[in-house]
Structure 1
Amino acid sequence: MKAAIWCSLFLSVLSFAGHAQTVMEIVDIRRANFTTLFSEERAQVQMDLIRQYDLDGSDTSMFIRVGVGAGGRQNLGETWGRVLFDLQPAWQNTTQYLVLQRRGEVVLTRPAFEEVFACANNVYSYVVEADRRNDPRFFVVSCEAAGITLGGEYNADNIEGERTSFYWRIGDNGTRFHLSEKGFGEVIRAFRELSLNWQEPGSLSATGQ
């Protein structure tokens, strides 16, 4: 099984409020699988790119839902539908990010997503570079952006195991996931692929138009 998988899917949820008809449509999906350190538990970072628009094609906006949890999601189609439906009353186009603490997820606009991507890349690069040059220190580096806290640890004295490891948490009280360098690298790759393939609203047209 590949560590990072993706596909395109058109799953829409229509909301009718008076005469307003809003569509939320998943247009891209990314997954990064990893095994948590010091256990055999499998976990997964999930990223869904969502397009929101009115049926007449106006008020188009894009945002992304990012979540991390143990194992893969069960019954993905049903989960996506529930997620989009639950987002309708909470999400507004002017919001930069929204933490869904109970679900262990965060919803991000493009600028907020790029902040998280830069944060993750900087943490990863700093720790990996220290390992490559055999840095004699022991340190922990962390970065917080848009409700996601990322961290990296380097221990030069760890001769029996990996000298590097990484952390991921959503929200102030979310579960802390402990990743290997390889696992965190898969997350970085999924971020990069989604960033490169993110189409601006102006390049998309409403379904059926």
Structure 2
Amino acid sequence: MRVFSINTPLIVEMGNEDLKAIANAWPLLVGLLLLDGWGFVNLPEVTWAGVAYVLHKCPQLITLSLSLDTRIDDVALMTSLPSFRPNMHLRFLSITDSVLDEVEVFVHSLFAIAPLVVGIDGWGHESEMLEISVPMANASAFLDQVESLMWELRRTRMRDQFAFLDGYVRNEAEEMNPFSTHQPARRFPYNKGRDRRIMGFPA
């Protein structure tokens, strides 16, 4: 199987073991869409370790949609294994109604397992019973920060491919100089599409 998709309104209870079962059954997946557009409508039990397992076991995966609890920083359970390799094919990630917390944890975890993701969308989790630092209303701003930091990590850690991104950065001296002739720094090269944020390299 190449694409596994469930797209119907359900209340989902799914954890890392369920993701492992899917990945073990269909390691040639290029698309895994779990309630894409609906969300799990429940506090997610999936964590970064489960996502890392899927991306490692399904190295051809290009699009992934699921809900996870990003507060749990457990990605090292997978990335520390000698056999682990990051997924270099994943481009689009929809986190639907995930629980969002610290931008740094999100970016650190995602870059470690799928450094070339260029499109991230979702709307975040809403719960009156749970105190969440990134409420649903702020999810778009949160994901904008994630995408910008992902580009910065590529610029600094994958320079063989992304050195051109230096043209999108101004140094501190330029930022503080009111007489600088430099133009304002351009946004990193992605365009926000209606459903996905699509890579747009400069000409």
Higher helix proportion? 2
Higher strand proportion? 1
TM-score, normalised on structure 2?
0.26
* Larger RCO: 1 or 2 (CA < 8 Å, sep 6+): 1
